[in-house]
Structure 1
Amino acid sequence: MTSFRISEAARLLGVSDDTVRRWVDQGALPVTDAHPAEIPGDALAAHAVRLADAPDADGRSSARNRFVGLVTRVQIDGVMAQVDIQAGPHRVVSLLSAEAARELDLEVGSLATAVVKATAVIVERPKA
């Protein structure tokens, strides 16, 4: 079975190592007897689903892929804008109208959520 070190688990969940250690101490995540401690992949996946299913104060949406992060770039050119969001290890780039970017008051350092609803998703696995 696949297992992940605490630092790897933190990177995959987009949280700090300390947060993962706290979840381990609280019993929310199990660890193996290995040294250094590792979290079983199935338990980490279940925890990621629980985090994603947590109630959202923003309301309801049919989109399931939400990336909360910090705006790292806003480029407005004419009627269009490009906004980059760094959400944990993920960089999400959105093209939207310049008007929408201004209405949302998007600027570098502001908190934003990229909501993705796609009809095609490519899945890859690293080589063993």
Structure 2
Amino acid sequence: MSLKSVMLSLLMSQAMFLCGLPFFLQLLLYLNPLVIMVVWCCILLFVSFAVLYFRGETVGIPRSLWQSALFSYSLSLLVLLFFRPEGQVYSHNLIPFSTILSYLSNEMNWLVSFYNLSANVGLFIPFGLYLLSREGKEPSA
């Protein structure tokens, strides 16, 4: 990854994040404060991958770095999903798809609905990428 690509990615992602910051701050009314960090990381990664793709560049990631990043990501995901800020109630839903239907029926704030639906899909993409990177490799004993 060239220095020009890194700078372009940083400038574009920070501009996008700052433009959307008023919307993202609304999420703090309903969700864990870590949401802002997750949104920032997602924008940075998305823009970085887009810049790499359009510039025709690739990046090699050492296996140990990939595994330690995935472990750190898993820990932060556990905190984000299971530790709510004070004053927020954590409810359980045992009826499949009922929460998704309530999000789609406009019973909640549209921004929170969009964030929750996209986060439920997007937050688990790194695990799929990790499994994809291991495809074709023999299991280690």
Whether TM exceeds 0.5 here: the answer is no
TM-score, normalised on structure 1?
0.28
User: Is the helix fraction higher in 1 or 2?
Assistant: 2
Give the strand-richer structure, 1 or 2. Answer: 1
- How high is the TM-score relative to the length of structure 2? 0.26
